[in-house]
Amino acid sequence: MNIVGIAACTAGIAHTYIAKEKLVQAGLSRGHNVHIETQGLAGRQDSLTDEEIAKADIVIIAADIKINGRDRFENKKVVEVPTSLVVKSPNKLIEKLEEINKGD
């Protein structure tokens, strides 16, 4: 499964990057391709490409604030969760994404 998404916390520092790392590690451990863009104090980093978005099976938005560029995910399955959920239960979240994706 190809997973793309955005991580963004209120401060744009710790939880943003922890959520990204946990999502990537949990996804890779289950054999998925994962690319997570961060939006925070340093601006947008690791920006998603149009090609990555087009190939995505599902989009995860792990955010505690309003994110920029949401319109890029039109016609995609989008799952929104707070960053704290990703930090606490990344494997369960990936399992849930797998279930949602199978719903096609």
Provide Rg for the chain, Cα atoms: 12
Q: Which residue has the tokens 């090609």?
A: 51
Locate all alpha helices (DSSP H) within 38-82, ordered by sequence.
50-55
Return d(Cα 97, Cα 103) in angstroms, integer: 10
Active site residues: 9
Residue 28 phi, psi dihedral angles, 5° rounding: -60, -40
